[in-house]
Amino acid sequence: LSYTQSAAEMGMDKERKPLEYEPTERDPLNKMGSIPRDTGGLVYIVLLLNGLGVLMPWNMFITIAPQLYVDYWFVTPEGNKTEYSDNFMSALGIASQLPNLSINIINIFLVIGGSLLLRIIGPLILNCINIVVIILLIAIVERSEEAMGWFYAVTLLIVAILNASNGLYQNSIFGLTADFPQNYTNAIVLGNNLCGIFTTVLNIICTLIFGSDVKTIALLYFSISLASLIACGVTLIFGSRQPFYKYYIDAGEKARAAENTAKPSMAQYLECFKDCWVQLFNVFFTFFITLTIFPAMMTAIPIKDQTGATWTFIIPEDIYVSITTFLNFNLFAVFGSFSANFVQFPSERFLWIPVLARALLIPLFMFMNYRPLDRTLPVLIESPWIFIVSGAFMALSHGYFSSLGMMYAPRVVHPSLSKIAGMTAAMCLILGLFCGVTFTVVIAWLTTTL
């Protein structure tokens, strides 16, 4: 399957399996010899699973955090919130994003000289240990006012270690796939978005079945996270033994050896940045816009005139946010990511245009019923259906454009620099996420002061 083959051409070949890569004479790596097939899409599926697994522990954590920590662990026996409860989510954001971003930046300069596979397996093992500790804390420690201080500190320490480890894991897995055909890079992005769907559906089911039994829900969440991490490690080791995997890893190593980029110089980093900075911006800005809106803004947009009143909307109140915000976003983000496997439009030269245009989504959501209790701006859009459709469009465009940016970045540089480009794109992803989450504070200030 050629990189430039259209979706229509793919559909005309009835016997072609969509996950199998068929080399052509135009493939830049074909000069190294016969390219093995990815039989049954095995390597693709392994990378998809790791894309899901890299975000599973963190997605589970932030999903359960409001229930387990804010509303359960850090409240008094009388049900009153404490300083720990009020500050936990803000502290959680700092403890998670700073280590993740820092490790991503460091990994770009240290990882090329070592084995990327080892830099993936190591974080997987560390994450498993972290999850086991979290499970033990939830199962054994009983909440009390005396234990809040150390439990708060230990929890944030675990979060910092977990996200530093995840930063190394995510950056390395994107670097690993940089030598593969571009749809294999997209498998990671697609897995990231599938993780969101899985977590949201699990949250809805648990809410309907277990109600307020938050400890049982938390134990279930983290047990599933542990199982997924173990599956990622086992399947990755198995996938690394496949001829298709070995071929592309060897091809990348030979290309870097030929260009003397096994341990790149600063000049080579600058050359890489010069060639792919537009794609790096595309990745950064796509995630920046998305994380400004989702989830902070979207979860703060209730249905107008329904707050405190009798609920009349078609979606039940207790799962309204889960469906209209989280499931809506994750489902359409997956559609967008998956579509990028078959259609790549616009080209790498013009992708920045729709990426920049997505900035208009921020004022769109600002003028919905965002922060209704303290906003000073007028509400111009009241319909919940416009909110739902806008969220779906935002998610669809996010999945599609983020996939294109991640796929294009390693392809617009010399093959010997593809790993640097892949890992730098992963770093820009995290940077966009961090800046977007931070910029939400600015949007809230503008909405309540203008």
CB 163, CB 99: distance < 8 Å:
yes
Smallest Cα–Cα separation from 126: which of 91, 167, 154, 86? 167
Residue 310: which CATH number? 1.20.1250.20
Domain annotation covers residue 389: yes
Q: Is 81 helix (H, G, I), strand (E, B) or coil?
A: strand
Tokens representing 133 are 């500790």
The total of structural domains in the chain comes to 1
Tokens representing 296 are 């902070």
Q: Which domain holds residue 208?
A: 7-449
Domain annotation covers residue 2: no
pLDDT in tens, 386-430: 999 999 999 999 999 999 999 999 999 988 888 889 889 989 998
Distance CA 178, CA 172 (A): 10
Sign of CA dihedral 226, 230, 233, 238: negative
Q: Is 75 helix (H, G, I), strand (E, B) or coil?
A: strand
Domain annotation covers residue 1: no
CB 301, CB 161: distance < 8 Å:
no
CB 54, CB 166: distance < 8 Å:
yes
Domain annotation covers residue 264: yes
CA distances from 198 to 132, 224, 228, 297, 331 (A): 21, 11, 12, 22, 10
The confidence score (pLDDT) of residue 107 equals 72
Which residues have CB under 8 Å from 157's CB, separation 6+?
Answer: 95
Domain annotation covers residue 129: yes
CB 148, CB 74: distance < 8 Å:
yes
Tokens representing 290 are 């998305």
Ordered per-residue pLDDT tens for the chain, 450 residues: 333 333 333 333 333 333 344 444 444 444 445 788 998 899 999 999 999 998 888 888 888 888 889 889 998 888 888 888 878 877 887 788 889 888 878 877 765 445 677 888 889 999 999 999 999 999 999 988 899 999 999 999 999 999 999 888 888 888 888 889 888 988 998 998 899 899 989 888 988 898 878 899 999 999 999 999 999 999 999 999 999 999 998 888 887 777 665 567 788 889 999 999 999 999 999 999 999 998 889 988 999 876 556 888 999 887 888 899 989 999 999 999 999 989 999 999 999 999 999 999 999 999 999 989 889 999 999 999 999 999 999 999 999 999 999 999 999 998 888 888 988 998 999 899 889 988 988 998 999 998
Tokens representing 360 are 């208009």
pLDDT in tens, 266-289: 888 899 999 999 999 999 999 999
Determine the residue type at 447: T
